[in-house]
Chains A and B, each alone.
Chain A
């Protein structure tokens, strides 16, 4: 699904990622953990195509295609979804319009006609129910005036609508109370399939109680310094990141 080899990335001359290697297979859930400022969000943005970074070395291959040569929107149409840590407010544009535009642009990329209105509405309804989202949310402007929890739920809703092959969730748990966290995690679990993959970026182990990962990576200072099973997350929680730091030194 996703293969990252020796990825080095800098911004304004400062190197953030210093040789990342990562293999994600279909059906897998990978967690990327690590202290703040180690490059977790940079990795998420680079995979999605944000163009403020300098890729100095390495490659990202997604479903056999070279991602680094693709625009942001083409990557999305190829099946990459990024759940934002800080979703952006877009006043005046309803979530319904936003999703319809996104779905139809992705369909256009694949040479398909726009989704008929009735089918689209049925899909909205289905996903809303699945994720326990109130109807009123969909008629409001994208993220405008949303609480932190509503914004994150809206990200999961968008993910459900766009049905990506690889979903990257960037600190989706930050700023959520336990109830919102459960709703978000339940949503992710319901969307897990044998042929799609997740990259869950988180600072805390808490989220991983609900979204159980197959593989946990620890990102430290721009490198993946340790990978293991779900028990690695528990160990990290117990010993703290100081433990990794001490080992590095």
Chain B
């Protein structure tokens, strides 16, 4: 059937999602704002106005030049406003077959928190892990103090859209001087009959000198088209410590926009690692504000893309205060017609003396048709600063290939070993041993072409382990 094309914000689609969303907002403003404080109700109105003005980002915008949303938006989406739990066998989905990787698992289905009746071991010490919907009612103080304070709506139409519709997601609060012993794992599943557009909104608050290990998994359950516009705000109070992982293993028909805003106070320490194994279109935006002396952030990522997959990592590090350090390393392997983008923006403000910032993006292109657009952008206003950046794009080292093959290793396996070795630099930075082992396995599987899209969370992949020679780490025997 010939459909009439609609020009929407410079994007040509058959469906005017923007108008649909604006109407959806008007129709639902009552229920959306039901639990709002006046400030948050006002924030929603401002946010929808920004979205009405800016719409979806298009390729004429500098930051979106190489990531085109028009195709992934060109669907007849449904926009769930209420949680659904129908026809999903959770026990099946969440079956855990990773020995020893015990986590406190929180599940979200189509952007909505699913209460599975599990309680955190440290709930009695004030640690909270609940739905945002619940937090809007029961933890109003935290919401008032932090919600929307870090995710800037003025310059990001997608964050504005998410803010306008913010209703559910995950809320985590760690009190001062508390070390959360359990690893909290958030599994975001998309499962629907048809094409679906979801907007989870998360808020994570770490009190002073607290610490948390957080793993966010993005998975698809079925093969339907999903557009996920996710926003997460993370506050690291003085001296707190967050070890954060994003695992992305989505179907090829999915688009995942993952905006995270980290706000670090003095002496806070962040390590965030984005591991993208599959996905039709993935855009990770990591915004890191170093807002107190001595704050430190490691921002890491590894991406393994093939077919027509597209990966886009945007990192913005804002050195707002003196004596902070940041360290960015993203490594990627692109095969077939896969495309990638890396934009690393480091801003060193005038007062941020003795800043030490490092940034690097290394890529291997396996095929002639794979492309990567990588650009560093340093914006420095202080004078006593150490900043360095680098970017490489290359093929597998021919000398190393010769070395491996000269030992009798086939070309195919030699390539795989070198790709694995390339990715290992990031995988080795995972500080949770069980998780590291699991990701290591997944990377190997991915490189062998065995991991397409798991039916389950990437951490609970049910694919049978296959013994392949180099898979056996004898050093552990």
Contact = CB atoms under 8 A, between A and B. Distances in A.
Tell whether A pairs with B: yes
Contacts of B472: 97, 100, 117
A91 B425 contact: yes
Interface string B208-240: 000000000000000000000000000000000
A73 B405 contact: yes
A201 interface: no
A114 B400 CA distance: 24
A93 B444 CA distance: 12
A77 B408 contact: yes
B473 A162 contact: no
Interface in B399-414: 399-400, 402-411, 413-414
Given A88-B397, A92-B424, A100 B407 contact: no
B61 interface: no
Interface string B435-477: 0000000000000000000000000000000000110111101
A29 interface: no
Given A101-B469, A102-B408, A139-B475, A50 B402 contact: yes
A177 to B, nearest CB: 24
B43 interface: no
A104 interface: yes
A49 interface: yes
B472 to A, nearest CB: 7
Given A93-B421, A100-B470, A101-B413, A88 B400 contact: yes
Contacts of A120: 474
Interface SS majority for chain B: helix
Given A97-B473, A100-B469, A105-B408, A87 B420 contact: no
Contacts of A99: 407
Given A90-B421, A91-B424, A97 B470 contact: yes
Given A88-B399, A100-B470, A121-B474, A93 B417 contact: yes
Interface residues of B, number: 33
Contacts of A82: 406
A160 to B, nearest CB: 13
B411 A73 contact: yes
Given A88-B397, A90-B417, A49 B406 contact: yes
Nearest to B473: A97
B399, B409, B418, B422: which has the most chain A beta carbons within 10 Å? B409
A64 B206 CA distance: 71
A99 B475 CA distance: 12
Contacts of B428: 92
A202 to B, nearest CB: 19
A71 interface: yes
B477 A73 contact: no
Residue among A49, A84, A92, A99 with max Cβ neighbours from chain B (10 Å) = A92
A73 B470 contact: no
A96 interface: yes
A138 interface: yes
A104 B469 contact: yes
B409 A101 contact: yes
A87 B403 contact: yes
Interface in B377-417: 397-400, 402-411, 413-414, 417
Interface of A: 45, 48-50, 52, 71-73, 75-77, 81-82, 84, 87-88, 90-94, 96-106, 109, 114, 117, 120-121, 124, 138-139, 141, 158, 162
24 contacts: A73-B408, A73-B411, A73-B414, A76-B408, A81-B407, A82-B406, A88-B400, A90-B403, A92-B424, A92-B425, A92-B427, A93-B424, A98-B407, A100-B469, A101-B413, A102-B408, A102-B409, A105-B409, A105-B413, A106-B408, A117-B472, A117-B477, A139-B475, A158-B407
Given A138-B475, A139-B475, 12 more contacts: A50-B402, A71-B411, A72-B402, A73-B405, A91-B425, A96-B473, A100-B472, A101-B413, A101-B417, A101-B469, A106-B408, A117-B477
